[in-house]
Amino acid sequence: MAVRCSVSTTFFLPLCLALLSPIPLSGQDTGTATTVFYGRGIAVTVIVHGPSGNPISSSATVKLLRDGTVPAGQATTESGRAELMVTELGEFRVVVAAAGYASSEKDFSITPGKTQVDVYLRSLSPEGSGVPGRPLLAPKARKAVNEGLHALASNDLAQAEKQAGEAMRLAPGHPDVLYLQGVVFLKQREWSKAQEVLEKATQVDPSHANAFAALGMALCDQGKYDVAIPPLERALKLNPAISWDARWTLAQAYYRDAHYDQALEMSQSALSSSHGKAPEIELLVAQSLTAVGRYEDAAQTLREFLREHPDRQQASTARRWLDGLTANGKIRPR
């Protein structure tokens, strides 16, 4: 039984409404495949953005860690920009600290050539903001965001794209603007672009449940099921009443990452909270029941789906799975 993540318009409807100089890495060339041009190195540019989306004017300390723990360099930004050099490829983490902002971390990969990393900081005490660390959105930008979200709810992708472009022009670093742009990319099936802007949204506003949910969808649609689970769980923690579609996506990620008990619980929750809007969730419930060895319950779920929805596209799949359970001796023939 195979599961495929997908983006549903229904998911968006309730959301619409509701360092001074570089310090080189020390060590000797090991001659391994990950060591490149020792003595020359690879340039890493870190751009530090404030809540507005523009590079910050104050100085920030930028540290690089190889494999998340080994110090690999440090620099201070000038006009929001820091340049560092490393001598190895692989996985790195950048840690940024600046007065007046919450510190931020981001994991990234270094490949041959130049690497640029964008880090977004949120203010610790923005003036006039009702949510700590959340920047204000000017009226014109807010209007563009609202109209873009309504367009998405109406399946008017062209209008949503237009409004997202206007909002990005006015407030490119605001989390709501980034969220809108990310959802537009999702609808356009531009998974990696969606992931990039939604990651920025969650960095700027770690309380943005909808952005975390959409980020999980973008990752799931790329087959990154294990990586999709944390943001989806975070979305559910931030907003326990989040859309059934987000729950369905999390259930799919659990199933594909072999967390079958959790997949069963979450798929049942998604089915219940969907109130009949997506009966095809029953197929994921049946898959999860099969995975945990509850074959008769899985068969009963498939029979109910076929009885209630015989004309649905998924009916042929349900029949095939039911026949397979019988043929493999998992259930008694009827």
Question: CA angle, corner 274, sides to 269 and 275, nearest 5?
Answer: 110
pTM: 0.65
* pLDDT reading at 259 higher than 60: yes
Q: Are strands 104-110 and 90-97 parallel, antiparallel or unpaired?
A: antiparallel
**E strands of 55-149, at which residues?**
61-66, 70-76, 81-86, 90-97, 104-110, 115-120
pLDDT digits (tens, 9 = 90+) for 165-216: 999 999 998 999 999 999 999 999 999 999 999 999 999 899 999 999 999 9
CATH class of domain segment(s) 42-120: mainly beta
**H-state helical runs in the chain:** 9-17, 139-153, 157-170, 175-187, 191-204, 209-221, 225-238, 244-256, 260-274, 281-291, 295-308, 315-327
Measured distance CA(331)–CA(299) in Å, rounded: 8
Looking at residue 38, its pLDDT comes to 40
Looking at residue 311, its pLDDT comes to 94
What integer is the mean pLDDT of 216-230? 95
Q: With beta carbons less than 8 A apart as the criterion, state whether 181 and 207 touch.
A: no
Of 127 and 52, which is predicted with more confidence?
52
Q: In the chain, what are the domain boundaries?
A: 42-120
Looking at residue 26, its pLDDT comes to 33
Using alpha carbons, select from 18, 1, 32, 105 the residue that is nearest to residue 62: 105
* pLDDT reading at 123 higher than 80: no
Of 334 and 197, which is predicted with more confidence?
197
